[in-house]
Chains A and B, each alone.
Chain A
Amino acid sequence: MFFLAALGALGGAVGVVAMRNPFYGVLALIVHLFSLAVLFLLLSAAFVAAAQVVVYAGAVMVLYVFVVAYVGGDTESAWEPIPGQRFLAPLIGAALFIELSVAVLGSSLLALGTEGPDVAPGFGDPAAIGKLLLEDFLLPFEASSILLLLAAVGAVVLAGRRERVDDAPVPGSAGTPGESRPAGPGTGAPQGAAR
């Protein structure tokens, strides 16, 4: 079971890196996420696995699919601007992997070679995690919720407001109301004027 899930996770990861079409890359990442959820279940982290499937493979990937469909799956150009990038990058990746493995396996963590201690049946289920989140980790929990709120507001500001600014015609073309106004304290007007 572990090897099956590990193969899925690794295959998904390689698929993300290797696929030319971003849409297939997103699909490969979904495979990767599901395999990781299986691995989390094997590590008796039921709530994390459920959150992985629902939040990641559900919500975040839908967002990705929408953006890829909006932007269009145009493939990037085949040549690389940095010579030897295509050969150098796997080399660096392999070096990173070897370094990480040496660092972890060379450490004196004796429990690495075991399956971990026996845990109670409720280990990692939603009740236990929720209790931890709302009692011991209340402050990080609230901080992450504020972070989510900020990210949502930031995304709306980033992606939503450009409509009016960019659709304003360049000076000299047929005017829309408001064009004759000087660049006032409007939303992003200096950027629009700089173009």
Chain B
Amino acid sequence: MNIEWYIVLSSLLFATGAMGILIRRSPVIILLCLELMLNAGNLALVAFSRMVGNQEGQVFAIVVMVVAACEVVIGLGLIVAIFRRKLPLDVDQLRELRG
């Protein structure tokens, strides 16, 4: 399969994730959509790495995975903290930084 297909699929997934972030308002779903976008980036990285015939792009993809895991951990910690404070889990209502 040509590399083009992978790249087009990757941009389609990225656009889907961005659309989800724009539409949804639950922080959990927004984190999931961020995962979608990061994975689309990963797919593009691996596809380009295959195109060039060089494995270093795959190392990039692994580092992206690490960063995504960190982001998930922090985001879920924030969500749990918000939930414990009995604030609404809705990004439109969480407008103030003050707890």
Contacts and interface: CB of A to CB of B under 8 A. Distances in A.
Contacts of B80: 67, 70-71, 158-159
Contact of A129 (B3, B16, B62, B70): B62
A92 B19 CA distance: 7
Interface in A155-187: 155-159, 162-163, 166
Contact of B2 (A14, A71, A113): A113
Nearest to A91: B19
B74 A158 contact: yes
Contacts of B67: 144, 147
B46 A48 contact: yes
A27 B33 CA distance: 13
Contacts of A112: 2-4, 7, 51
Interface in B1-48: 1-9, 11-20, 22-26, 28-29, 31-33, 35-36, 39, 42-43, 46-47
Contacts of B66: 144, 147-148
Given A45-B61, A81-B92, A148-B66, A115 B85 contact: no
Interface string B83-98: 1110001101000001
Interface residues of A, number: 89
Given A136-B56, A151-B73, A191 B13 contact: no
A44 B50 contact: yes
Interface residues of B, number: 72
Given A115-B2, A116-B3, A144-B63, A16 B74 contact: no
A147 B13 contact: no
A77 B26 CA distance: 10
B53 A140 contact: no
A17 B14 CA distance: 12
Contacts of A116: 3, 50-53
Which of A92, A96, A109, A191: most chain B Cβ within 10 A? A96
A147 B73 CA distance: 11
Contacts of A159: 76-78, 80-81, 84
Contacts of B7: 104-105, 112
Given A64-B72, A114-B2, 4 more contacts: A2-B1, A17-B29, A93-B22, A123-B53
